[in-house]
Structure 1
Amino acid sequence: MTISTREEFLTAVQHGDAETVSGLLALGAGPDVRDPVSGLTALMIAAGRGNAPLVRRLLAAGADLHTGDSRGGATALHKAVQGGDPETVRVLLEAGAFVDAVSPTTGHTPLMDALWYKWPEVVAVLLEHQAGLNLSTHYGFSMREHFEYELNVNARGKDKLLEAERLLTARTQADENAVQAQHLMAAVTAGDLDAVRHHLAQGAEVDTRYPVVTGFNDAHTPLLVACRDGHEEIARELLAAGADVNATEPTFGAVPLHKAVYNGHAGITALLVEAPGIDLDYQGITNGYTPLHDALWHGYEDCARVLIDAGARLDLVGHDGKRPADIARESLGADHPLTKAIAEATPAAA
């Protein structure tokens, strides 16, 4: 893209000129072009100005939801929140924007910005999408302390802050109620097989996800927790009840197999690889590691052998460029029998 085309494109975005933006995109303009002064991408500019239709157009053209601005690191969702348009915020969230994205300079999540800018309507949208209430800024305030500070220093707009406070209180109560209703998960966490059987027999939903309360089980299914915590018989019961064997959790993008091998639970690993529909080679979102990568990384030879015997791929590459053979060499040593076996069986790199 030439400098003049870039300037024309950014000007059109700033002015909300959808026709010109669409025309330039059709001619090959990149949707992720940045303003050289502000460091904002076209999507951030449109989002900050509350132009939901233009945000949709840029997203359809492939604009990056997750990138940060080049000065402060905030995302398009942060900019939309600052702009105060609930529809734009909703568009970005429904497109996959991370609701708790953290600005690297301030530590602000979008919810913190919504409170800071006094946009209760935006707060409501973020809470609907399970924004976390127990996160902290980089300058030492929890979200709640941040909000208390806002209440104290603002001479105007307190009615909006009080409305936001009402929403936060309602969400807190809803979270507490949801946690209390998690009888099956409570039984799984406690390792109580009889209670798990009882709740399943009573019709408990086997894949109900735990509320997002900034805890270890956030948005986990019972099977994910059972596999992580080593409750083999409970995992067996959950699978028999139809639990999703490939359910992912949102933090690491891990599946039950990742959870099992990461913690060295070979029995559960053997149970999972036999489950109908199992994806042996799912790559997590944080590092691109498959369960086999994880098993080798943590030195769990028995888990790795179960995966290999089940047909796990040896050629997949993590975000660090490493295949299972590389991880095995680092973790087990070049002369270890399993390392040698993996190296011999690994297809040549393309």
Structure 2
Amino acid sequence: MTSPTREEFIAVVREGAPEAVSRLLGLGASPDVRDANSGLTALMIAAGRGNAPVVRMLLAAGADLYTADSRGGGTALHKAVQGGDPETVRVLLEAGAFVDAAAATTGHTPLMDALWYKWPNVVDVLLEHGAGLNLSTHYGFSMREHFEYELNVNTRGKDRLLEAERLLAARTQADSDAAAAQELMAAVVAGNLSEVRRQLAQGARVDARHPVVNGFNDGHTPLLVACRDGHEEIARELVAAGADVNATEPTFGAVPLHKAVYNGHAGITELLVKVPATDLDFRGITNGYSPLHDALWHGYEECARVLIDAGARVDLVGHDGKRPADIARESLGAEHPLTRELTDRTN
């Protein structure tokens, strides 16, 4: 029996009967087909209609959770939010959907759409999963300005907007309280070594993460911040207190070693490479660069030398296809001794 056509499968997904969708998947239908007219994938269609069982089925069959629609640039999560079904939104988030994905044409995040469509129950789910409150649209409105506009122009459904406003206020206060409670992080940011020691002695959580407020420290542990900002003695105290030397931050997917070398902190680099648990070759999610790539990218020869001497791999390839030798050639020059060494080791 031949596989179902794209049109046949899209029609069944629109009808929404899980049994029929399952049958066509079993006959070889691709879970990633797009509707020719709307540019929506099957997953987006099911998500927009709030059909959580079919969404689960398509995800289990390998549907691409991260792709965008070919016209507006929204994701399946955007469509689920617009449809207003909290369960479907939760299914996608728990499968790994990016909670702050921005639509290519508008810059709308799922939270912005949830406010626009007046779905406070969906707003609640997005906030629970850490949706950012301080992002902006591509046309210049911050999320808060966008919401104020909605409050002013709507004559219907205002009760739902006011419920969403209450949820936003509660999340804002919770973020503020969480930041205020992080005295260890505050001491690290201030570079206050004695206060860091005092906080650790009093039992402060060494790996407590900063709340996501769309700021420079979002989701960072104290060690990530200390390594980024060059607080070497503070980093030493945090490592001694058991800080996770491979903790990643959510923006670039970087570890403390990336932070140290990216900013040229050779002393901290030396500290970290001596910790047996440190992953010398961890690659960031943005560009696939290892700490050695980053050190060379910014021309920090001393950091690069520390990494190489500690046994960092020299053959790893970034998303741009470049090895450390390629980065060194661009940054330090083809005749630099470090470039020649790396080239010899990778040829």
TM band (smaller chain): over 0.9
Task: Kindly report which structure 2 residues correspond to 1:215-234, keeping only aligned pairs within 5 A, or say none.
Answer: 215-234=215-234
Deviation at 1:29, TM superposition (A): 2.9
Alignment map for 1:60-79 (pairs within 5 Å): 60-79=60-79
**2:211 and 2:87 mapped to 1: Cα distance?**
25
CA contact (8 A) 2:47 2:76 kept: yes
What amino acid is aligned across from residue 208 of structure 2 in structure 1?
Answer: T
How far apart are residue 22 of structure 1 and its match? 2.4
How far the C-alpha of 1:98 sits from its partner, in A, is 0.9
Displacement after TM superposition at 1:20 (Å): 3.0
Which residue number in structure 2 is paired with residue 277 of structure 1?
A: 277
Cα deviation, 1:289-315, whole Å, max 9, x if unaligned, reads 111111110000111111111111111
Equivalent position of 2:190 in the other structure: 190
1:257 aligns with 2:270: no
Q: Does the CA-based 8 Å contact 1:90-1:125 persist in structure 2? A: yes
Matched with 1:320 is: 320
* Distance of 1:274 and 1:90 partners within structure 2: 42
How many residues were matched structurally? 346
User: 1:20 and 1:252 mapped to 2: Cα distance?
Assistant: 41
Task: Supply the distance in 2 between the matched residues of 1:25 and 1:330 (Cα, whole angstroms).
Answer: 49
TM-score of the superposed pair, with normalisation by structure 1: 0.96
Superposed, which structure 2 residues align to 1:298-337 within 5 Å? 298-337=298-337
1:93 and 2:130 correspond: no
Aligned mates of 1:340, 1:279 — CA distance in 2: 25
Change over 3 Å in CA distance of 1:341–1:306 after alignment to 2 = same
2:31–2:43 Cα contact (<8 Å) kept: yes
Check whether the contact 2:136–2:143 (CA below 8 A) recurs between aligned residues.
yes
Q: Deviations over 1:79-122 (max 9, x none)?
A: 11000000111111111111111111111111000000000000
Maintained 8 Å contact 2:206/2:243: yes
- What is the root-mean-square deviation in Å for CA atoms of aligned residues? 1.3
Q: What is aligned with 2:104?
A: 104
How far apart are the structure 2 equivalents of 1:132 and 1:71?
24
Match runs of 1:93-242 below 5 Å: 93-242=93-242
**1:281, 1:313 within 8 Å by CA — same for their partners in 2?**
yes
Inter-partner Cα distance in structure 1 for 2:23 and 2:239: 52
State the 1:4 CA deviation.
Answer: 5.0
CA contact (8 A) 1:84 1:122 kept: yes
**1:41 corresponds to which residue?**
41
Equivalent pair of 1:99/1:131 in contact (CA under 8 Å)? yes
CA distance in 1, matches of 2:129, 2:260: 29
CA distance in 2 between counterparts of 1:114 and 1:38 reads: 21
Kindly state the Cα deviation for residue 34 of structure 1 after the two structures are TM-superposed. Answer: 1.1
In 1, Cα distance between equivalents of 2:262 and 2:147: 38
Deviates more, 1:306-315 or 1:56-65: 56-65
Q: In the alignment, what sits opposite 1:247?
A: 247
Contact map agreement 1:9 1:20 (CA 8 A) in 2:
no
Write out per-residue CA displacement over residues 129-157 of structure 1, whole angstroms, 9 at most, x where no aligned residue. Answer: 11111111111111111111101111100
Letter in 1 for 2:8: E
Question: How far did residue 19 of structure 1 move?
Answer: 2.4
Confirm or deny: 8 A CA contact 1:41 1:69 kept in the other structure. Answer: yes
Q: In structure 1, what is the equivalent of residue 17 of structure 2?
A: 17
Q: Tell me if 1:31 matches 2:56.
A: no
Tell me how far apart the structure 2 counterparts of residues 310 and 60 of structure 1 sit (CA, whole Å): 42
| CA pair 26-257 structure 1, distance change in 2 beyond 3 A | farther
Q: 2:124 is aligned with what amino acid? A: A
Shift in Å, 1:57: 1.5
SS class of match (1:283): coil
Alpha-carbon distance, 1:54 to partner: 1.3
- Contact preservation (8 Å) 2:3, 2:29: no
Task: Give the direction of change, closer, same or farther, for the CA distance of 1:313–1:24 in structure 2 (3 Å limit).
Answer: farther
The 3-state SS of whatever aligns with 1:137 is coil
Distance in 1 (alpha carbons) for counterparts of 2:271 and 2:240: 11
SS of the residue 2:280 aligns to: coil
Unaligned runs of 5+ in 2: none
2: CA distance between counterparts of 1:31 and 1:330? 43
Deviations 1:187-228 (A, max 9, x none): 000111111111111111111100111100001000100000
Determine the C-alpha separation between the residues in 2 that align with 1:265 and 1:123.
Answer: 41
**CA contact under 8 A between 2:34 and 2:41: conserved in structure 1?**
yes
Indicate the larger mover: 333-342 or 271-280: 271-280
